Amino acid sequence: MRKKLFVVFAALLCFVSLMGATFVSAAETSSTALFLESVRMDKEEDGYVFTYRFDKSVASEEKDITLTSASKFTVNQKGLNEVEGAKVAYAEQEGVYVVQARVPAASGCVKEDGTDRVNVLAGFECDTGYRTTVRYIYQFAKTGEGERIYRSDNIDDYAEVSVTSVSVPEVQGSNFVFYIYLSEVITPRKYIDLQVRSLREMLVYHGEKGDKQYSDSELTLLYDYQIFSRDWADSISYKFHFGCDSYNGLQAFPGNNGGYPYDMTPQEKINGTDLYNVYQIQEQVADTSLVYLDKNGQEQSNGGSLQPLAIQIHMDNNRIQVVLKGDSLRDDLATKIVDAAGQDTGMTSFNENIAPNRRENMALCLKSGLLFPNGKILKEDFSFYYDPVGKQWRATGTDAGETVVDETLSNQEGYTDEELAAKNNGNGGTDESGGCKSIVNVGNPAAAATSVTLFAAAAIALFGRRNAKNR
């Protein structure tokens, strides 16, 4: 049975490749992450010295880096590039090169009242080529070693970022794809599959024992910062809401939660559309307690729940890519879906394809408190609704306005293949399905290709680990 399922998923992988997707190999995205291990504050006669020790040597010689890197080091929310007399340099200690920052006492930057906090920002690149990928926070009750803080309970410890726009939806292969744009860069590198439910699953998919997209340390750090995972109320699993006409009345399957159905109450309503969080959207697909009969009448396991792949969320530069899956072929393999006792459920689908029609009403919301890898945070809710007539997203509470052309995407008007063909031929045709079946690798080709291909790759990985417990 396991061999048969592996063949199914391998075939799916081949299908995706035939659709024109180009997988981003692990070698292309291998981790060069730099991790901060400790920060020490010592008092001198005329000021303070902060020593930053990383997991790797950051240089091969002592060197002043004030002009190039001081902005990446802050003391009490003030960049050292803005502190008069502050110096940042590489220094050798016990055969290892560290970063040292000297801050004059006269600057008044250090309060020494037990509340001093220093940050190392994401994007600091050292001379050995490694780079910090998240923001680090250390607090000092006194001089000496600082205390590591993963997520501050003070939202003012973070720089604010806002949502500026949402792209015209596209259909890539059969998946439904759109991009959420933010006012500033939110991550120093691309992160994929931040919708994955647990650290354990993320390590299996993309860690050192998976496809090696990232080191285990980097994924663990993202988890500790509460960027992803169902364990954290502030993660994107709960801070991103989406809904559409076809999602009305989502259901959860008891088999996906050890016999206990998940609460599918909508999180909010925008312009009459119910919105659900990422966890709820995942929960409606692929009941783990069910099996199916193939076309030869043989009973087959459904391979475990594929919820983490029903919706996919990737971050890169200043945008979030959202992929709603519509490329599953598994329903085509099933002639009957039965429960554990062999009783016919009457179901005809595993409900894995959740891509909406571009002609239906949709709405989304990113909630206040959503933290990004580089330390930027949303300090208010940002909500948008989709106008299927005007084929554009509009901020909630606004009326029709001028359409802003998104230069990063093709097919700005949102035409279907048939409409485009008719337009090119000089006549007016329509496609009632709203599908754009041949448009692939547009918008962000690498991210889109990764998203569709990872469905097959991660499904294979998940298949052998369906009983693994979450962290």
Q: Check if the beta carbon of residue 34 is closer than 8 Å to that of residue 121.
A: no
| Residue 468 within any structural domain of the chain | no
Residues 62-106 have pLDDT tens digits of 999 999 999 999 999 999 999 999 999 999 999 999 999 999 999
| Residue 470 within any structural domain of the chain | no
pLDDT > 90 in the chain, percent: 60
- Longest Cα separation, the chain: 83
Supply angle C-alpha 86, 87, 93, rounded to 5: 135
| Residue 469 within any structural domain of the chain | no
431, pLDDT greater than 70: no
Q: Check if the beta carbon of residue 416 is closer than 8 Å to that of residue 386.
A: no
Query: CA Rg, the chain, in Å?
Result: 25
In the chain, how many domains are there? Answer: 2
Q: Which domain holds residue 244?
A: 2-30+161-463
> Helix (H, G, I), strand (E, B), or coil: what is residue 44?
strand
| Residue 471 within any structural domain of the chain | no
**DSSP of 108-140:** -----SS-EEEEE-TT-B-TTS-B--S-EEEEE
Residues 104-120 have pLDDT tens digits of 999 999 999 999 999 99
| Residue 26 within any structural domain of the chain | yes
> How much is the pLDDT for 302?
66
Q: What is the mean pLDDT of the chain?
A: 80
**HSE-up of residue 331 (Cα within 13 Å, Cβ side):** 13
Angle between helices 199-206 and 216-224 (to 10 degrees): 150
Say yes or no: 242 and 379 in one domain.
yes
> How much is the pLDDT for 294?
83
Say yes or no: 323 and 254 in one domain.
yes
Which amino acid would we find at residue 412? Q
Which of 170-174, 277-281, 306-310 is the least confident region? Answer: 306-310
Q: What is the mean pLDDT of residues 36-54?
A: 97
> Helix (H, G, I), strand (E, B), or coil: what is residue 462?
helix
CA distance 226 to 61: 36
| Residue 236 within any structural domain of the chain | yes
Say yes or no: 6 and 112 in one domain.
no
Query: Who has greater pLDDT, 467 or 321?
Result: 321
Q: C-alpha 359: how far from its chain's center?
A: 26
338, pLDDT greater than 90: no
> How much is the pLDDT for 442?
29
Say yes or no: 218 and 253 in one domain.
yes
> How much is the pLDDT for 410?
46
What CATH number is associated with residue 71?
2.60.40
Is residue 27 packed enough to be buried (19+ CB in 10 Å), middle (13-18) or exposed (0-12)?
exposed
Say yes or no: 397 and 332 in one domain.
yes
418, pLDDT greater than 60: no
